[in-house]
Structure 1
Amino acid sequence: MSITAPADWKSAPAPSDAEGWIARAAEVAAVLASDAAARDKAAATPYAEVRLLKEAGLVTLLGPVEHGGAGQDWPTAYRVVREVAKADGSIGQLLGYHYLWNWAARLVGTREQWEHVEAEAARNQWFFGGAVNPRDADVVVRDEGDTLTFTGRKTFSTGSKVSDVTVLEGVLEGTDDHVFAIVPSDSEGLTFHDDWDNIGQRLTESGGVTLDAVRVPWSAAAGYVDKRFQPRVYNTLNVPTIQLVFVNFYLGIAAGALETAAAYTRTKTRPWLHGGHERAVDEPYVIDVYGDLTAKLWAVEALADAVAAEGQKLHDDPDAVTETARGEFEVRVAAVKARATDVALEVTNGIFEVTGARATASAEGLDRFWRNVRTHTLHDPVAYKRREVGRHVLTGELPQPTWYS
């Protein structure tokens, strides 16, 4: 297995607009697609894949231009994630999470903090991981004068060993206050465990992590001034922002499944012996299934793009974000998350109806698309996303900001 970047990436100018960056992401996907099934089976740590993302310039897509970034917006980032995920859902997830954690300083931190982080990240091509799983208060943050220490364990830490820096999260001892901080991934006391062995998203390095008094200066505690957190409504936009990341790599995986299956049907699927057709592509039911699944996917993609554009308006003016605007955006995100989940599962399962029994061969790797979607869509129950939408429609209620809404 070899991952080699196209030679013209070094000689040609970097893309200058959204279309160019989406095209660059498609080039990355073409490289990844060449051995995606074999890499999924091997489940090796994706060092080469992350290096490819860096060489392509995708890692600094959202970074400031003056420090070497591309200066692109979130709708473009979502489309880039979708393109990469067509070939490899794991790498699409890694890239999408990276974008969120790179942006976390802006979401939570002070202007001085996020300007520093974004400049350093762009200049050094930092790849971000995150030890942030706030469902349990499993990491204690202790105030030790000029510094803080993070101690505990997180069950999931996506990006772990392939990251340059890691976002930590814990609860300040004696309070209910959460603290976020960015540390080098090789920090003393930070130990990543090789215990990610799930049926899907096998290359995301999402195993557990132990924190043993990882030391951070108070100045690195995002959003804290004189040891007191400075709250903004914009702080709570982290959830809908990353939920849209989920949406887009689900849609990318589904699109990749359809493209791969269609190629298989054109070249390998045999027509049914009682159907009266010489080619599988002429079978009426095969045509109907591809048409049905494609129409459903296109509809959700259009909704995802519309919701991403709505969210960008909030990112454009963070200090003006109101609780109402945030809540209405979360409802829209919940709606597209619910539809993307259902359609991605339907597509990745339905392709087997039109590829045939031989398509289940391990060498074809068609099962990876379903395994990837099935694994990550369990992140949080989709029924609760539909509930957010239903309650808003019936009563006008807006979701209260939580770690999942």
Structure 2
Amino acid sequence: MTSTTTQDTSVHPSSDPSIYQEYESKWSSLPSDSTGWIQRAKDVAAVLAPDAAAREKANKTPRAEVTLLKHSGLLKIFGPKEHGGGEQPWSVAYQAIREVAKGDGSIGMLLGYHLLWAFSVSILGTPTQIAKWTRLITSQNLFVGGAVNPRDSDLVITSDPNDPTKIVFSGSKHFTTGAAVSDLIVLEGALTSDGPNKGQHIFAYVPTVQPGITFSYNWDAIGLRLTESGSAQISNVVVDWEDALGWDASLKSPVPEILTVPYATLLLPTIQLVFINFYLGIAQAALDTAAGYTRKATRPWPYLSGGERETTSPAEKATDEFYILQTYGTHHAHLLAATALVDRANEAVSELFGAYSHQRENRGGVTAQQRGEVSELIAAAKIVATDVGLKVTSDVFEVTGSRATASKVGLDRFWRDLRTHTLHDPVAYKRREVGRWVLLGEIPTPTWYT
């Protein structure tokens, strides 16, 4: 396994990884504490922000940007220190995602998805699998993508007719965020072989570069254009039973104390909080970018209303306009409130994971009630982050003026990025979930989106 992926650039041009070569040596040492890791994420954002609008317009496959993440060490934020990782909690990882998203929403999203998929073995895997994959991903600085889209038909998993120690994945996925620029892909499918476990779901890591995996490079949404979230075809990809996460290879059955406990369902609220943190980063970046533009380029309105009681003169500067000051003040306050709620959710997830080791015998300690309460907190955070984010990214034009709609300014990308991903799953269902929790004390039944 190596950390180098290849691509036929005639299919879709990719950005040049060499443009960030200097950061390989500049960031050769990993941060030593949580403050340092968050600062590293801010440093990455500072590199990405100046040309984010131009890169988004060019819409090249983000090879260079993933290389920058590798140089930064952020891909290894969870990894064991003995293998060169940071051993940081989710609360720090979430903040890192948010900070990178301030520089470029697409790359913040790629980092978030990588961290979720890299961490998945710690939720779903056996102790042996956890040791194997955390070592490999960390020591080789691998970028992990996923071919896990619940609304598609599952990939079909069959027994290998030539080797009973192996299974075979086949099918297609409409969305595969980051997979085309990854070193490893998480595949997920349903077992179709006859037997008591027919229909059971299996997750597994596989190398990206192999004949059985092809990408369409057909991602062409209005936002998050550099996430390479297009479709993929999976054809006869062979996986060892030993790499079926949470399964007993000898019995060819799921390990009950791993996959049938509430702990195994934490993957879903964890990724929902990934979403929320890059939403928040994008919204904050929109307000900050607009404020910079207002200070530099927005002109005050030269006319008054003309009413008989008008006693004031037109503002001399845009920064004196009452409605501009009011809008910035309101949105800043709302973002502070949203941040406080999201940070509370970040800490809750970290505490839940931190309270239980990833060893098999301790996972049963997480109760359905604990899982449900954290899920409801995350749902509330998603409601607020979505509402505030869409409002902020739309209203920035009210306080920057008509010239700020110029393509070169790029203010529109913030709304486009948020609008694209906030449709991932309807926030209306989150409102209902929280409503049932408030009125009836009901925790949600775990699903692919809850």
TM-score over 0.5 for the alignment? yes
User: Which residue identity lines up with residue 156 of structure 2 in the other structure?
Assistant: V
Aligned partners of 2:183 and 2:24: how far apart in 1? Answer: 26
8 A contact 2:300–2:316 mirrored in 1: yes
Q: Show CA shifts across 1:170-216 (max 9, x none).
A: 01105221110000101231111111011000000100010111110
Q: Counterpart of 1:34 in 2: which secondary structure?
A: helix
Show the counterpart of 1:177.
200
Equivalent residue number for residue 323 of structure 2:
285
CA gap 1:44/1:68 in 2 versus in 1, 3 angstroms: same
1:301 and 2:339 aligned: yes
Query: 2:234: which partner in 1?
Result: 211
C-alpha separation in 1, matches of 2:23 and 2:143? 22
Could you give the per-residue CA deviations for residues 103-136 of structure 1, whole angstroms, max 9, x where no partner exists? 0111111111011100110100010000001223
Q: Which runs of 5+ in 1 are unaligned?
A: none
Are 2:23 and 2:72, in contact at CA under 8 Å, matched by a contact in 1? no
Q: Distance in 2 between matches of 1:21 and 1:6?
A: 19
Partner of 1:82: 98
Distance, in Å, in 2 between the alignment partners of 1:86 and 1:136 is: 31
**Equivalence for 1:359:** 404
- Contact map agreement 2:436 2:442 (CA 8 A) in 1: yes
Checking the alignment, whether the CA contact within 8 Å between 1:191 and 1:209 is kept in structure 2 is yes
Contact kept? 2:27, 2:71, Cα under 8 Å:
no
Instruction: Note the 1:321-400 alignment, pairs <5 A.
Output: 321-400=366-445
**Which residue of the partner structure matches residue 183 of structure 2?**
164
**Alignment-mate amino acid for residue 265 of structure 1:** T
Q: What is the deviation of 1:7? A: 5.5
CA contact (8 A) 2:215 2:232 kept: yes
* Higher Cα radius of gyration: 2
Q: Equivalent of 1:132, from 148, 152, 171? A: 148
CA deviation string 1:142-192 (max 9, x = no partner):
022111111100010011221000000001105221110000101231111
Q: Which amino acid aligns with 1:190?
A: I
For the pair 1:190 / 2:213, whether they are aligned, the reply is yes
Return 25-34 or 134-143, whichever deviates more: 134-143
1:5 Cα deviation after fit: 6.1
Distance apart, 1:335 and its partner CA: 0.5
User: Compared with structure 1, are the counterparts of its residues 8 and 236 closer, same or farther at alpha carbon in structure 2 (3 Å cutoff)?
Assistant: closer
Q: What's the TM-score, normalizing by structure 2?
A: 0.88
Q: Distance in 1 between matches of 2:113 and 2:390?
A: 21
- Cα distance in 2 for partners of 1:264, 1:278 equals 17
The alpha-carbon deviation at position 8 of structure 1 amounts to 9.2
The residue matched to 2:227 in structure 1 has which SS?
coil
Cα distance in 2 between the residues matched to 1:9 and 1:375: 35
Judging changes above 3 Å, is the alpha-carbon distance between structure 1 residues 9 and 386 closer, same or farther for their aligned structure 2 residues? farther
- Is residue 2:295 matched to residue 1:266? yes
Q: Which amino acid aligns with 2:220?
A: D
The change in CA–CA distance for 1:358 and 1:337 in structure 2 (over 3 A counts) is same
SS at match of 1:183: strand
Aligned equivalents of 1:211, 1:11: Cα separation in 2: 36
C-alpha spacing 1:146/1:7, structure 2 compared with 1 (3 Å): closer
Name the residue aligned to 1:310: 348
Partner deviation per Cα, 1:210-238 (whole Å, 9 max, x = no partner): 01111101111000002111223211000
Match of 1:21 among 26, 34, 37: 37
Paired position in structure 1 for 2:4: none
2:238 alignment partner AA:
R
Q: 1:12 to 1:150 in 2, by over 3 A?
A: closer
Q: AA paired with 1:140? A: V
* 1:54 equivalent in alignment to 2:70: yes
Aligned to 2:360: none
8 Å CA contact retained: 1:132, 1:154: yes
1:87 Cα deviation after fit: 1.3
Runs of 4+ in structure 1 off by over 2 angstroms are: 1-14, 135-138
> How many residues are paired up?
405
Instruction: Report the more deviating stretch, 55-64 or 224-233.
Output: 224-233
The equivalent of 2:159 in structure 1 is 143
Distance 1:11 1:114, change over 3 A: closer
CA contact (8 A) 1:140 1:170 kept: yes
Question: How far did residue 9 of structure 1 move?
Answer: 5.3
CA RMSD of aligned residues (A): 1.4
Asked if residue 91 in structure 1 is aligned to residue 111 in structure 2, the reply is: no
CA distance in structure 2 between the partners assigned to 1:368 and 1:298 by the alignment: 22
The amino acid of 1:86's aligned partner reads: K
Q: Does 1:30 align with 2:41?
A: no
